[in-house]
Amino acid sequence: MPRRSPVPGLVESLVGGDESRALAIAEESLRRTRSRMAVFADLIQPAQYEIGELWYSGRIGVAVEHRATAIVESIVAALAPTPSSRPVPRGSSCVLAAVGDEQHVLGLRVLQLALEDDGWSVEQLGGRTPVDDLLAFVAQRRTALVGLSASYLPSIRAIRQSVEQVKARRIPVLVGGAAFNRVPGLWRRVGADGHGVDARVSVVLARRLVAR
């Protein structure tokens, strides 16, 4: 008999503000999969998207949506690391940022932890990073990869500018976030080298991009 997805239970817990139950669901998923990355990709992200749809359709308010996000943030922070048995070479480094007016950084935090489990050294610049500051930061380091996130379309202009200038330094750029997941092919239009639809895909692409 197929195993029932834990996503509906997590969504119910998040909407109801039951942090203890939500954490228990995530920890059980981690125990079963033995992979924090799998929990991020198969449980946390689908639940977050469902919460977003509930808010967008008016079935929950902003306060409930914000509370749900806060619970998810605490769950992400609480899950124990699950280091890869075949990590990337020592010294593999990555810079992550949300540029322009983009302030949503939960996805970046999830990706940071997934990459760290894979052996990467990650520097997280957070949200609303000015493009010039990102470029100056990258110029001062031997960074193998830059990851950029956008949750909504107004952020795309800043991402396009960042991609162009980072790639001019021969550094590959990986993009992700809800804006790219909603609009097929958008990542190509901004000039990125790859689009990570979730943490698992992003980690695989990160390896491929630096190996080219």
With bands split at pLDDT 50, 70 and 90, how would you rate the model's confidence at 2?
low
State yes or no: pLDDT of 195 exceeds 60: yes
pLDDT at position 4: 86
Backbone dihedral angles phi then psi of residue 41, each to the nearest 5 degrees: -75, -40
What is the CATH number assigned to the segment(s) 93-211? 3.40.50.280
With bands split at pLDDT 50, 70 and 90, how would you rate the model's confidence at 111?
very high
Say if residues 138 and 171 touch (Cβ distance below 8 Å): yes
Lowest-pLDDT range, 4-13, 16-25, 154-163? 154-163
Q: Which residue has the tokens 């956008």?
A: 150
Say if residues 127 and 105 touch (Cβ distance below 8 Å): yes
Backbone dihedral angles phi then psi of residue 99, each to the nearest 5 degrees: -100, 170
Confirm whether 7-78 and 93-211 share one CATH topology: no
pLDDT at position 156: 85
The overall average pLDDT reported for the chain is: 95
pLDDT at position 1: 52
% of the chain at pLDDT higher than 90: 92
State yes or no: pLDDT of 15 exceeds 60: yes
State yes or no: pLDDT of 131 exceeds 60: yes
pLDDT at position 69: 96
pLDDT at position 6: 97
Rounded mean pLDDT of 115-142? Answer: 96
* Fold annotation for 7-78: 1.10.1240
Whole-angstrom Cα distance, residue 142 to residue 84?
23
**Domain extent listing, the chain:** 7-78, 93-211
Sheet holding 145-149, edge to edge: 121-124, 93-97, 145-149, 173-176, 194-196
